[in-house]
């Protein structure tokens, strides 16, 4: 099952407070970027973020889920109504990840 346009639209609105947030379509799903860094994705109408210390501390009870078979587990974000929390999660995850390597 691929992510629906309705869910993508809803989640884009919920994430709109975060700095430099962007999505990129990828095989029926969407990669999620913040401040130019890949922080997670939208898979099967679920928001999954890379497992960073920031996300783990803000969502200590969150479960790990895989976006697709064979992928590394990511943190499943259930609290989609809290826009301030989503902003904090995205921005702190981006801040914690290393800068893009130049090719």
pLDDT in tens, 23-62: 999 988 999 999 999 999 999 999 999 999 999 999 999 9
Span of 8-22, 33-47, 88-102 with lowest mean pLDDT: 88-102
Helix (H, G, I), strand (E, B) or coil at 3: coil
The CATH label, of 3.30.1460.30, 1.10.540.10, 3.30.70.260, 3.30.470.20, for the domain at 5-96 is: 3.30.1460.30
Reported as a pLDDT band with limits 50, 70 and 90, residue 2 is: confident
Q: Is the predicted pLDDT of residue 103 greater than 90, yes or no?
A: no
């Amino acid at each position: 099952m691929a992510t629906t346009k309705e869910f993508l639209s809803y989640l884009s609105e919920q994430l709109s407070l975060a700095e430099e947030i962007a999505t990129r379509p990828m095989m029926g799903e969407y990669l999620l970027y913040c401040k130019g860094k890949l922080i997670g994705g939208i898979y099967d109408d679920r928001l999954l973020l890379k497992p960073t210390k920031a996300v783990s501390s803000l969502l200590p009870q969150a479960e790990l889920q895989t976006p697709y078979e064979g992928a590394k587990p990511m943190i499943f974000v259930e609290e989609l109504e809290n826009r301030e929390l989503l902003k904090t999660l995205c921005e702190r995850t981006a801040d914690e990840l290393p800068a893009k390597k130049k090719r």
